[in-house]
Amino acid sequence: MRVDIYCLLYYFFCLCYYKISGFIIFFMSLGGNVIMKEWYKELVVYQIWPRSFCDGNGDGIGDLEGVLSKLDYLQDLGINCIWFSPLYPSPNADFGYDIADYRDIHKEYGNLDLFKQVLDGAHQRGMKVIMDLVVNHTSDVHEWFIKSKDPSSPYHDYYFWRKGRLGGKLPPNNWLSCFEGKAWEKDEKSGEYYLHVFAKKQPDLNHDNPKVRQEVKDIMKFWLDMGVDGFREDVITFISKRKGLPNGIPLPIGCGIEHYMDGPNIHKYLGEYREVTDKYDCFTVGEAPMMTPDNALKYVDEKKKELDMMFHFQHIEADAFLIDFLQTKFKLKEMKKAFTNWQNKLNGRAWNTLYIENHDHPRIISRYGSEKYRVESGKMLANMYMLQQGTPFVYQGQELGMLNTRLDSIDDYVDCFVKNNYEVAINKLHMNKKKAFEFAVKSTRDNSRTPVQWDDSKNAGFTTGTPWFPVNKNYKQINAKAEMADPNSIYNHYKKLIKFKKENEVAKWGDYKEYYKNSDKLYVYSRSYNGKSMLVINSFSPERVPFEAPKGFDLDKGTPILCNYENNFVQQNGFKLRPYEARVYLFD
């Protein structure tokens, strides 16, 4: 009898244990912080757009020799991963995003041996290296495309070749290219059209063809076997097109996109590519235009990851309608809403990327900050995005506070996207030329693609030759040498910030909470982790703005760090923030 009671008690305890632990897991998954601490979540990634980074051989074009010479600079900055924008052979219709050979290095940049030296050099310095994987399209000079022009070739079905409508007079459907005119180009010899959702020289690959998917897997293996640590996957959510390629909603921009964004087989194809990367100790980050956090979870949820992280565009569109060219007034509230939404929705379920500048957008100080308050606003913007939860990405020159450029005429620009937008604005939206040019100057990708300013010598120390694209005229004042020498520079702020982000547990793993949601001048949030917290205060205003510490934060008890004005302020819970002031307080 006694034994039975013990048995009963034992069963009772077991039941309670399982119920309680079940509840704990249930509540944790509801909103608690169940973050898997994978290594890629502790990286700070630096993006190199090779053509403009550093020229090692004096031909005016950035190259791998130049990169080799700057590995110590990158290590000193504290970054621990490099993302290379395309280094592959390319006719440069879209500066490398039109690839002619996936298994080689462009002659302008060096060769595979030199790349291996860079890879080893980076690894020796504790830095990972990821490649850009551009497989939505190839270049039109890729051998697959050249062979595919023959309708009887096995490569024909590597691309989307279709007969035109009206006996070939009209393209197969009404889709528009994101970069230039219609999304179809006719091959006069065969009379068929091929699809290009980007530039004419970027024909789309047909991932419905298993042979194409095998090629992609082989390309991934090629680089992973060489030792690279992962991929940034270009417009990867565009790779599955709707069957039959039906007409799109007839809009002047982006017509047809609804038939290839998150297409019908996207998860199947990404699942297959994931099987390759799962065999290696690597990570992937996918580029996903028009992505929402709910949709993103279908790709990056910890429980079923097709990608480890995702670049979305919602926060950077706070001053534009769909594309940077269509500018609107900058609305801080929209930017905050997007950041907060991604922070909250992904927390504990997936991992965010953190970026505000890259090779596709203008420079952030000119865009969201102030050139007049360059140093203050540059540091504030850095704190603002990097101290959120996620893996931060820094774009070359961002750490130097580089600014937008201004050239004299549209013909001086080289970005195919801006040239197309300028034409569309004039011819379809009936904008006058002057206004269209101003929109172009502000939005062009060329703004972030000017050569990196290393010092105040000729051509900013970027090259001993003639730079392929004009160096920004402000290089005498803004350059790495000057930035490194000044303890209060933007560069030295990034250096401190990167170190802090890599080392501080709250900055890495903490939960996020936003305050002052309705302010169009202040962006204030806190992070908390294991009983510690951090308050991040950012002013986006050139004026003084009154500030009251949010309830529960006594600034007297906090430790101020990473501020962008001298730390001469009296600790109070209510005060006026100075132009673009940024303060961070830590609480134990």
In the structure, how many helices (H) and strands (E) does the chain have?
16, 20
Known active-site residue 287: yes
Nearer to ligand NOJ, 129 or 133 (CB): 133
The residue from 234, 317, 324, 360 that is catalytic is 234
Q: Applying CB under 6 A, does 360 fall inside the site for ligand NOJ?
A: yes
Known active-site residue 234: yes
Q: Applying CB under 6 A, does 234 fall inside the site for ligand NOJ?
A: yes
Please, what is the minimum distance in Å from the beta carbon of residue 411 to ligand NOJ? 20
Please, what is the minimum distance in Å from the beta carbon of residue 82 to ligand NOJ? 16
Query: Could you say which residues in the range 181-200 bind ligand NOJ, by CB under 6 A?
Result: 198
Please, what is the minimum distance in Å from the beta carbon of residue 258 to ligand NOJ? 18
CB atoms within 10 A of CB 82: 22
Q: Applying CB under 6 A, does 233 fall inside the site for ligand NOJ?
A: no
Query: Could you say which residues in the range 281-310 bind ligand NOJ, by CB under 6 A?
Result: 287
DSSP sequence for 78-140 = T--EEEEPP-S----TTTTSS-S-TTS--TTT--HHHHHHHHHHHHHTT-EEEEEE--SB--T
Give me the sign of the Cα torsion angle 337, 340, 345, 350: positive
Q: How many residues bind ligand NOJ (CB under 6 A)?
A: 9
What does DSSP assign to residue 227? T
Nearer to ligand NOJ, 97 or 184 (CB): 97
Nearer to ligand NOJ, 93 or 522 (CB): 93
Q: Applying CB under 6 A, does 93 fall inside the site for ligand NOJ?
A: no
Question: Which amino acid is it at 406?
Answer: R
Q: Applying CB under 6 A, does 235 fall inside the site for ligand NOJ?
A: yes
Nearer to ligand NOJ, 53 or 198 (CB): 198
Please, what is the minimum distance in Å from the beta carbon of residue 71 to ligand NOJ? 24
Contact 55, 463 (CB under 8 A): yes
Q: How far apart are CA 299 and CA 307, in angstroms?
A: 6
Q: How far apart are CA 586 and CA 22, in angstroms?
A: 34
- Of 474, 466, 465, residue with least CA distance to 400: 474
∠ CA 580-585-588, nearest 5°, is 170
CB atoms within 10 A of CB 503: 11
Contact 350, 301 (CB under 8 A): yes
Q: Applying CB under 6 A, does 84 fall inside the site for ligand NOJ?
A: no
Residue 239 in tokens:
């790779």
Please, what is the minimum distance in Å from the beta carbon of residue 232 to ligand NOJ? 9
Please, what is the minimum distance in Å from the beta carbon of residue 361 to ligand NOJ? 10
Residue from 83, 84, 88, 97 touching ligand NOJ (CB under 6 A): that is 97
Q: Applying CB under 6 A, does 134 fall inside the site for ligand NOJ?
A: yes
Nearer to ligand NOJ, 262 or 371 (CB): 262
Nearer to ligand NOJ, 83 or 540 (CB): 83
Q: How far apart are CA 461 and CA 451, in angstroms?
A: 9
Residue 313 in tokens:
């565009």
Please, what is the minimum distance in Å from the beta carbon of residue 26 to ligand NOJ? 40
The residue from 55, 215, 287, 511 that is catalytic is 287
Q: Applying CB under 6 A, does 393 fall inside the site for ligand NOJ?
A: no
Phi, psi of 100 (to 5 degrees): -100, -20
CB atoms within 10 A of CB 529: 18
Active-site residues: which are they?
234, 287
| Contacts to ligand NOJ by CB under 6 A | 94, 97, 134, 198, 234-235, 287, 359-360
